[in-house]
Each structure stands twice: as C-alpha cells, then as structure tokens.
Amino acid sequence: MDLTLLVVLVIALALIFDFTNGFHDTANAMATPIATGALRPKTAVALAAVLNLVGAFLSTEVAKTISGGLIREGDGGLQITPVMILAGLIGAIVWNLVTWLLGLPSSSSHALFGGLIGAAIVGAWSFGPIDGAVLVSKILIPAVLAPVLAGTVSYLATKIAYGITRKRQRDGFKVGQVFTSSLVSLAHGTNDAQKTMGVITLTLIAAGMQPVGTGPQFWVIVACAIAIAAGTYSGGWRIIRTMGRGITEGIEPAQGFSAEAATTATILASTHLGFALSTTQVASGSVIGTGIGRKGASVRWKTAGRIGLGWLITIPAAGTVGALMAFIAGLVWWGVIVDVVLASAAILTIWLLSRRGTVEAGTFHQPEPTAFVRPKRKKKRSRR
C-alpha cells in the first residue's frame, strides 16, 4: 500500500479513536453533576465538550511521552511502522466500544497503550520497540497510584465538607459542582486529547514525514481537539449511568464536589509531570472515595469490582486485538485492507447491539431541588 495513503488511513483511525475517547470519558467529569441535578444532561455534555476543546491546547507533555517515550528511538528512527500503529488503533477502538456497550468505565488511555504495545511486539517479533522504563514509570505506576491518591483526597474532602456544613447548606455545593466538573473537563482535555496527538505524531515520524524527537504540529493539535470535543458532545450515557448511579447510591452535591475536586487535582498534577494516566481510573477512584467518606452512604462493591477487573484486563485485551491485527497485516500485502474490513465489521456489530437497549439523555431523571422548607403546623380544631 502507498505510504501516503497508509498514513492518511492511520490518521483517520486515530481521530476515530479520539472521538470514542471523548464519549467514553464524558462520565469522568459530568456523571456526578448530572446525578445530583447540578447540571442538566445535555448542558453538561455541551460544557464538557467546549472545555475539552480548550484543554487540548494547554499542554503537549503527554503527547511527547507517547511519540518520543513509550516507543524506542533507534538509529533509523522510531522502531515502529505505520502498519503497527494502525493495528494498535484498531485494538484500542474495538475495546473502547466493547466496554462502552457494557457501560464499563474502563480506560481509553490504557486501551491505546495496550493496542500499540501488542501491535509493536508482534509486528517486530520482539519486545525491542517498547521502552520498559517509560512503560513502568509513566504508565503502570500512575495507573496504580493515581486512583488511590484521588480516592484518598476525595474521602478526606467529603469528611471535611460534611463536617463543616449543615444539611440545609449542602445544596449550595451544586453551584460548586458546576465549577469543579468544568475543571475536570478542562484537565481531561490537557491529558487525553494529547494521547491521540502523540499517536499521529508517532505515525508521521515513523513515515519519515517529521523529524525524530519533535512534538505535535499545530494542525494535529487542532484536529485532535475537535475530534475529542465532538465525541464528548455525543454523550456516553451508558457509562454516565454507571459512574453517576452504579458505584455509590444516592450521591449528593457535597460528594460530587469533593470527587470532582480530587479528580482535577490528580489529573493536572499528572499532566504537568507527563504521566499518561487514566482519567477514568482517577474519576472512579474519587467516586468510590466519596462514597466511603459520607456517613450513611454505601459503595456498590460488586460494580466497583467489575470496574477494577476492567482496569486489569484493558491493556492485555486491547493488546491482543492489536497483536492479531498486526499479525494479519504482516501475512500478505493486502493484510491492512483485511484489518480495516474486520474493524468495520466489529464496529457495526457493536453499534447494532447497542440499539437493542439505548440509553439517552432523557433516561436521567433530574432530582428536584432540596431546599429546606419549614413544615406547616397543623391548626388545632376548636371544640364547641
């Protein structure tokens, strides 16, 4: 296949992945304000889309981790080809859609890393292309520490919020939720949009169209920002339902505020350090922490266990699909076409299955305001 055509195909797939990343991760910022009634569902996703778009322009450190860190650089350039990247993207897209269909808030980031790692190993028939030190220090260690840290911070924040306020005052946290959920969306754009920027930059470098060691070009930043914003605006209602109602029962505004503040702080700190962490894991950890922190609240540990299992198998599952696609692509010259056909069939099948039980914005009932109203005293009837 012509190299230019292959690069165009890979870039198109990267933007499709970016779109799925957007609707897969909308819940990270907007599940709790929707659950508490702080924001209406469509208003929430529109706000998240705009702020994801803005956030994508604020930093490129995570993009550099992917384009010049995870994959080793050799004397002849990066030790990965556009064909391997295409196979890895298919693995990430398919796993993203499978977990979306199941309403499982798995990590889009880890799906991408897994797909690329599996495709690179099979494509090169060695572990040589993967920089193990970067994989451990900037991906695996943050994957373990970030949700624990976010959960601890949200637990403490929830304790403080309930300790210093009275019941009638806690409805004011709804206003705070608008601010903190906006910060999560902005932070999400600074971290997740960059991963696709890094993949496209990796492709251009591997094809010899961009010098080794350089960051994403401006047109790449713009394209990725638009793609993730469009995906965010399309919703992702299955995962929003799981995050907002499935992990902890009866989440309140003070809890939502605490969870979003902890999520924002963790993501922004990780972005500054170039850690390509999972925003989904951070947000889920925060929701669990706030469920533990509120007296009388209950965490649905069965659901939390399903989410944890999803975290564990995301990298190997996406890696297996990416490896299979790389193997097929390497068999014959038209293997890439077979990969694209198989990916299209998988996407169509998942979409048809999703139509059997749709979850839309109207599914979410907006709770009524809980302002304190003094009950009226019953008048005593006079005896005659």
Would you say 251 and 37 are in contact if contact means Cβ atoms under 8 Å apart? no
* pLDDT for residue 64: 66
DSSP state of 103: T
Half-sphere exposure of 251 (CA within 13 A, CB side): 38
342 alpha carbon, distance to own chain's centre? 25
**CA dihedral sign, ordered 137, 141, 146, 149:** negative
Residues 6+ away with beta carbon under 8 Å from 35: 244, 245, 251, 256, 364
The token pair at 41 is 């569902």
**CA dihedral sign, ordered 6, 9, 15, 19:** negative
Does 24 reside within a domain?
yes
Split into its structural domains, the chain has a count of: 1
Neighbours of 307 (CB within 10 A): 24
Does 31 reside within a domain?
yes
In order along its 384 residues, the chain shows pLDDT tens digits of 688 899 999 999 999 999 998 888 887 778 888 888 888 888 888 998 999 899 888 876 666 666 556 766 555 555 678 898 999 999 999 999 999 888 888 888 889 889 989 998 998 888 877 888 878 887 788 888 888 888 999 999 899 888 888 777 677 788 888 888 888 888 778 777 888 888 898 888 888 888 877 778 999 999 999 999 998 888 777 888 777 677 776 778 888 888 888 888 887 777 777 676 777 888 888 888 888 888 776 778 888 888 888 888 999 999 999 999 999 998 877 889 999 999 999 999 998 998 877 666 655 554 444 433 344 455 555 554
Does 374 reside within a domain?
no
Does 155 reside within a domain?
yes
Does 382 reside within a domain?
no
- Enclosing domain of residue 49: 3-363
Output the pTM of the full model.
Answer: 0.82
CA-CA distances (angstroms) from residue 254 to 133, 190, 268?
A: 40, 26, 21
Does 202 reside within a domain?
yes
H helices of the chain, where? 3-36, 41-55, 61-65, 82-101, 108-124, 132-135, 141-164, 173-206, 218-233, 237-241, 253-273, 279-293, 301-331, 335-354
Whole-angstrom distance, CA of residue 39 vs CA of residue 49: 14
Query: If you compute the radius of gyration of the chain from its CA atoms, what whole number of angstroms results?
Result: 22
* pLDDT for residue 373: 38
Does 74 reside within a domain?
yes
Written as one string, the DSSP assignment of 357-381 is: G---GGGSPPPPP----PPPPPPPP
The token pair at 300 is 């649905």
Report CA dihedral (196, 202, 207, 212) to the nearest 10 degrees. 150
* pLDDT for residue 374: 42
Does 137 reside within a domain?
yes
**Best CA proximity match to 180, nearest among 20, 378, 38, 375:** 38
* pLDDT for residue 369: 40
CA-CA distances (angstroms) from residue 61 to 11, 27, 56, 184, 195?
A: 20, 24, 11, 18, 10
For residue 299, the cross-strand partners are 248
Whole-angstrom distance, CA of residue 320 vs CA of residue 260: 33
Give the three-class secondary structure for 73: strand
Written as one string, the DSSP assignment of 302-352 is: HHHHHHHHHHHHHHHHHHHHHHHHHHHHHHSTTHHHHHHHHHHHHHHHHHH
